[in-house]
């Protein structure tokens, strides 16, 4: 069978690109060995956001007396939390399957492997050809070479989503995005949570001020952090899983019922015929240029598998860029402006450069901050803990935005939009923001310049 483009992997990178290609008149053969939707829908963004919502409800109920509502008793039905998550995932999966029923898209629910630069085969030996091939196979949880990581009860984020009970004691190795989101969720469900992080700060890629404040806020909620902790081994004992680590030159250990390993994700580069097709790759991912093209002209790679930016929306926009490139169109997508968020409580969001990055790159910048506690909406919501930081270059153009506080994930999008239009802080000062809204914190921040 022949088509204009073959896409391997139907995550947000693969399936959204298939739809965009078909909308532009290209015929597509899309391969997926599991269900359409990828990590984002089945093991990542969506199921965790379902858990976040249940966790938020638990927090609101627990804190309701302060809002004037007395609830005498409540309990968490974790079975229902998981069931609801499964229902939401099923609903969204059906939505994608419906969208893919497109006359220009042939959906092949099988594992695909490259045979050369234009041919792909499936396990039943069928062969498919295309002028162009797009690899969007995603990533998988990284397991560090630590003794005991294979013990039952030592879990990845995927397995955490299908637990049948709330662990009383949860130890999380890695305080990056995944570790923090699960820590925040399970704390709301009542777990005692300890995080062991190798780096000096949590969320190493975020602005320092934001990660410090987030750590303080989460500590206030009862999370326990050990930074610069090196896990050496995990062992099963009669009382639980003992996690051994060194911290401040001491040998320490903590006992937990479950251990979550959240030390990053590895691009899924194995078993897809990269060597047969002569595609260059490393454990960091498939090598691509700025058009997401590999060293083999007909083959492109998008999303987690190229290791550039492991975010669902980065993958789908990279895919649009590829299709525009194939169609010879001028594409205005700026892949340097990718908003990112951490769905802890409170949330954190960022886009563009951090102060640390500006210093490393020798960029002259000014950074100003505004606090949520001066924002009427945040105070009335009972969420006064928060900070907004804007970074502008020497011409006043916004080059970075960092937010910690309620709805930070949504708020940061305004900064991304402003950055896409090369807006200055002076222009932001003149844009009317509705009162009372959290977005006024951005304007307050601009007024500090
Ligand atoms: P990460 O890279 O964000 O964080 C991993 C953390 O583990 C780092 O802080 C690192 O210093 C630490 N670490 C590494 N080895 C360690 C060890 N042996 N002991 C202790 N700590 C160790 O990775 P992640 O949190 O696993 O997430 C994977 C990817 O998925 C990331 O790229 C992330 O952006 C993406 N993701 C995004 C979202 C979101 O957008 N909300 C949610 C989940 C995941």
Residues 7, 133: one domain?
yes
Active-site choice (74, 165, 280, 435): 435
Distance in Å, CA 292 to ligand 1 centroid: 23
pTM higher than 0.95: yes
Q: Is 326 within 8 Å of 7 (Cβ atoms)?
A: no
- 59 phi and psi angles, rounded to 5 deg: -65, -45
Residues 95 and 175 occupy one common structural domain: no
Of 204, 206, 180, the residue nearest 350 (C-alpha): 206
Same-domain pairing of 82 and 183:
no
With the most atoms of ligand 1 within 8 angstroms of its CB, the residue from 11, 13, 176 to mutate is 176
- C-alpha gyration radius of the chain: 23
- C-alpha 398 to ligand 1 mean position (Å): 27
What string of pLDDT tens digits covers the 449 residues of the chain? Answer: 899 999 999 999 999 999 999 999 999 999 999 999 999 999 999 999 999 999 999 999 999 999 999 999 999 999 999 999 999 999 999 999 999 999 999 999 999 999 999 999 999 999 999 999 999 999 999 999 999 999 999 999 999 999 999 999 999 999 999 999 999 999 999 999 999 999 999 998 999 999 999 999 999 999 999 999 999 999 999 999 999 999 999 999 999 999 999 999 999 999 999 999 999 999 999 999 999 999 999 999 999 999 999 999 999 999 999 999 999 999 999 999 999 999 999 999 999 999 999 999 999 999 999 999 999 999 999 999 999 999 999 999 999 999 999 999 999 999 999 999 999 999 999 999 999 999 999 999 999 99
Final residue belonging to a domain, choices 263, 279, 306: 263
Q: What is the pLDDT of residue 119?
A: 98
- How many residues can be counted in the chain? 449
Q: Is residue 417, in this structure, part of any structural domain at all?
A: yes
Name the helix (H) or strand (E) containing 351.
Answer: strand 347-352
In a domain, 332, yes or no: no
Tokens of 55: 């966790």
Q: Is 312 in the pocket of ligand 1 (CB under 6 A)?
A: no
350 lines ligand 1 (CB under 6 A): no
- Whether 65 and 142 have beta carbons less than 8 Å apart is answered as no
Residue at token pair 């790159």: 361
74 part of a folded domain: yes
- Select from 326, 355, 374 the last residue of a domain: 326
Active site residue 433: no
238 inside domain: yes
Q: Say whether both 402 and 363 belong to one domain.
A: yes
We report the CATH number of the domain holding residue 209 as 3.50.50.60
Contact yes or no for 120/128 (Cβ under 8 A): yes
Could you tell me if 272 and 417 lie in one domain? no
| Alpha carbon 127 to its chain's center | 34
- Whether residue 338 is contained in a domain is answered as no
Within this chain, do residues 127 and 8 fall inside the same structural domain, yes or no?
yes
* CB of 196 closer than 6 angstroms to any ligand 1 atom: yes
User: Domain residues for 406?
Assistant: 346-446
Number of structural domains the chain divides into: 3
Which of 146, 178, 195, 309 is the best mutation target for the ligand 1 pocket, counting ligand atoms within 8 Å of the beta carbon and taking the most? 178
Whether residue 410 is contained in a domain is answered as: yes
Please check whether residue 304 lies inside any domain of the structure.
Answer: yes
- Give residue 97 CA to ligand 1 midpoint distance, Å: 30
- d(CA 405, CA 383) in angstroms, rounded, equals 8
Are residues 73 and 212 part of one domain? no
Same domain, 113 and 178: no
437 and 289 in a common domain: no
In a domain, 379, yes or no: yes
- Is residue 87 exposed (0-12), middle (13-18) or buried (19+ Cβ within 10 Å)? exposed
Same-domain check for residues 255 and 270: no
- CA 183–ligand 1 middle distance (angstroms): 13
What pLDDT is recorded for position 280?
98
Task: Please enumerate in sequence order all residues whose Cβ is within 8 A of that of 284, keeping only pairs 6 or more positions apart, or say none.
Answer: 267, 307
H/E stretch holding 361 reads helix 355-361
Q: Pick from 50, 158, 174, 195 the residue to mutate for probing ligand 1's pocket: most ligand atoms within 8 Å of its CB.
A: 174
Structural domain ending residue among the three candidates 234, 263, 292: 263
With a 6 A CB cut-off, is 173 part of the ligand 1 pocket?
Answer: yes
> Which CATH number does the domain housing residue 411 bear?
3.30.390.30
Q: What is the pLDDT at residue 53?
A: 98
> What pLDDT is attached to residue 388?
98
Same domain, 136 and 6: yes
Expressed in angstroms and rounded, the spacing between residue 222 Cα and the centre of ligand 1 is 21
């Amino acid at each position: 069978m022949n088509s204009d483009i073959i896409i391997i992997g139907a995550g947000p990178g693969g399936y959204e690109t298939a739809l965009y290609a078909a909308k532009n008149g290209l015929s597509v053969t899309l391969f997926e060995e599991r269900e359409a939707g990828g990590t984002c829908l089945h093991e990542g963004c969506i199921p965790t956001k379902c858990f976040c919502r249940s966790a938020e409800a638990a927090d609101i109920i627990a804190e309701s007396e302060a809002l004037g509502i007395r609830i005498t008793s409540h309990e968490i039905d974790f079975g229902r939390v998981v069931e609801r998550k499964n229902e939401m995932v099923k609903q969204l999966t059906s939505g994608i399957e419906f969208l893919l029923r497109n006359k220009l898209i042939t959906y092949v629910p099988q594992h695909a492997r490259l045979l050369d630069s234009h041919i792909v085969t499936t396990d039943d030996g069928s062969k498919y050809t295309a002028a162009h091939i797009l690899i969007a196979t995603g990533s998988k949880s990284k397991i560090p070479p630590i003794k005991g990581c294979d013990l039952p009860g030592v879990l990845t984020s995927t397995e955490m989503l299908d637990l049948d009970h709330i662990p009383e004691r949860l130890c999380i190795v890695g305080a990056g995005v995944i570790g923090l989101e699960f820590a925040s969720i399970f704390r709301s469900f009542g777990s005692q949570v300890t995080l062991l992080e190798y780096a000096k700060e949590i969320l190493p890629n975020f602005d320092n001020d934001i990660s410090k404040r987030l750590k303080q806020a989460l500590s206030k909620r009862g999370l326990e952090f050990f930074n610069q902790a090196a896990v050496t081994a995990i062992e099963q004992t009669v009382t639980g899983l003992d996690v051994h680590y060194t911290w401040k030159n001491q040998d320490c250990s903590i006992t937990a019922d479950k251990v979550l390993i959240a030390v990053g994700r590895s691009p899924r580069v194995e078993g897809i015929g990269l060597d047969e097709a002569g595609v260059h790759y490393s454990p960091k991912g498939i090598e691509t240029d700025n058009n997401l093209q590999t060293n083999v002209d007909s083959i492109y790679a998008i999303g987690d598998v190229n290791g550039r930016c492991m975010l669902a929306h980065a993958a789908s926009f990279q895919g649009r860029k590829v299709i525009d490139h194939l169609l010879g169109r001028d594409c205005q997508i700026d892949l340097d402006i990718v908003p990112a968020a951490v769905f802890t409580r409170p949330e954190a969001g960022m886009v563009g450069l951090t102060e640390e990055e500006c210093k490393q790159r020798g960029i002259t910048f000014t950074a100003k901050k505004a606090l949520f506690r001066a924002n009427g909406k945040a105070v009335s919501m009972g969420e006064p803990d928060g900070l907004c930081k804007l970074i502008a270059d020497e011409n006043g153009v916004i080059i970075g935005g960092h937010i910690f506080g309620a709805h930070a994930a949504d708020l940061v999008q305004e900064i991304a939009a402003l950055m896409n239009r090369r807006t200055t802080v002076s222009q932001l000062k003149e844009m009317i923001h509705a009162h009372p809204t959290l977005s006024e914190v951005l304007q307050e921040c601009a007024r500090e310049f």
